[in-house]
A and B are shown apart, each in its own frame.
Chain A
Amino acid sequence: MDCEAARAQLADRLTGTLTPDAAAALEQHLASCDACARDAQDARGMWSALADIPPMPPDSAAMRARFDTIVETKTTSYAWWATYGLQAAAAIVLLAAGFLVGRQTSPAPVADPAIAELREELRATRQMVSLSLLQQQSASERLRGITYTTQIERPDSALVTALLDTLMHDPDSNVRLRTIDALKRFADRENVRRAAVNALAEPTSAPLVQIALIDFLVEANDRNAVTSLRHVADDAMTDKAVRAHAKWGLQQIG
């Protein structure tokens, strides 16, 4: 056994997961190699000392109480949507139909405050349904929610925040990709660009998502993204295609 092979097994030696044969071979090497033996001894000393750090005492009762409150709130909220979600969707359809019929039958466009009010109501309902869909467990429902957001003319900050939350936390790469597209029209907002930079640095982001984020940041010409792009381009652990794309992005922002 050479030094490199021995060092690859020192972690197993620490955790006691070496097979008897491997352990014997390693000990034989350590007996003949001072450098590896010193390395192994230092590591074992530190490993053993780590056991002296006691766990922090948890406040289990308080955690349970908070947990129960959260579950109660969430389940109530789910129940509300299960009951009224369909009605809200039906309301949208009726509102939209009424709006369209009204526009068709109206002889000439008039600046009617009632229509403006109706339009505002439609926008608010659409937004409400979008927010609801973004919370759904099914990825296809969340995708529908994102598509819905693109049809809202003046979404308020709650919807943008929900999209950012989806960008950061959604476990489904397709949903995140669609979210990036939906966020493009808000690229002039600093918090949106910042979230894109953060999502790019997120180690669990899929390569496709990272590439889409790089495109987004290049399109937004966000100079604040340079550091993150450089980090991605230089990070040996990052996917090769993503690294190459980050280099391209750096040239574009340049």
Chain B
Amino acid sequence: MRAVRDGDVSRLGVLFERYHLALFDFLSRMTGNAGVAEDLVQDVFVRVLKYRATFRDEGRFETWIYRIARNARVDYFKSRRPTESIEDAALDIPEPGAGPAEAIQREREMARLRRALLLLRDDKRELIVLARYRAMRHEQIADMLGIEVGAVKVRLHRAVQELRQIFLELPEEGAKWTAKPRVRNLQIV
């Protein structure tokens, strides 16, 4: 990143190769939409290019780029029409396929859990995605969010509890999502 910051823009490709899949995973799990996540990954690297001079050596690059990704996602959903609902956002939640009953049931449970995760409030989903899927340490998350490590731990645990609650409240079988009251918690709205 230091080379990019100092003017060697051609090295940005190296950073792209190193980070784009991780960022895509973070953003797709946050948005529930692969297309939106791909757009946001592009936006992240445009911002890296634009704000490269603000990167400081003492900071960890991964933390910096995830901060940019968070802002890019927040800005993206802020710029959507206020009336756009989650139903309009074409979530990439696959329908359970055919197969043995047990496998179908497992797929349904997984789809239900994915929905529950998307219904979780944005900041809580973010904690779970970072800690569970990006295996980010609590200290790094705290640094990124600008909060105490203790607060990260407490919030993460609460987020998991709340996710469980949402999961249990969702209809069990192949039902389309109808949990309207919680939709307001999502930034997509």
B-contacting residues of A (Cβ < 8 Å)? 7-12, 14-15, 17, 39, 42-43, 45-47, 49-53, 55-60, 62-64, 66-68, 70-71, 74-75, 78, 135, 137-139, 168-169, 171-172, 198, 202-204, 237
Contacts and interface: CB of A to CB of B under 8 A. Distances in A.
B124 interface: no
Contact of B154 (A11, A62, A66): A11
B9 A50 contact: no
B89 interface: no
Given A42-B164, A43-B164, A59-B38, A50 B132 contact: yes
Given A63-B41, A202-B74, A58 B24 contact: yes
B121 interface: no
Contact of B71 (A10, A45, A78, A204): A204
Interface string B159-180: 0110110010000000000000
A71 B12 contact: yes
A59 B38 CA distance: 8
A236 to B, nearest CB: 11
Contacts, number: 141
A161 to B, nearest CB: 12
Interface string B60-92: 000000010011001100100000000000001
Contact of B46 (A12, A56, A74, A139): A74
Nearest to B31: A56
A56 B90 CA distance: 14
Chain A interface mostly helix, strand, loop or mixed? helix
18 contacts: A11-B157, A17-B137, A45-B164, A46-B167, A53-B110, A56-B25, A56-B28, A56-B29, A56-B37, A56-B92, A57-B34, A58-B25, A59-B34, A67-B42, A71-B13, A137-B53, A204-B67, A237-B147
A41 B46 CA distance: 43
Nearest to B111: A53
Contact of B160 (A12, A46, A63): A46
B177 to A, nearest CB: 16
The secondary structure that dominates the B interface is: helix
A55 B32 CA distance: 10
Given A12-B138, A56-B92, A49 B157 contact: no
Interface in B118-134: 128, 131-133
Given A10-B157, A11-B157, 14 more contacts: A11-B154, A11-B156, A39-B161, A50-B133, A52-B109, A53-B29, A55-B28, A56-B92, A58-B37, A63-B42, A67-B16, A78-B9, A137-B52, A204-B70
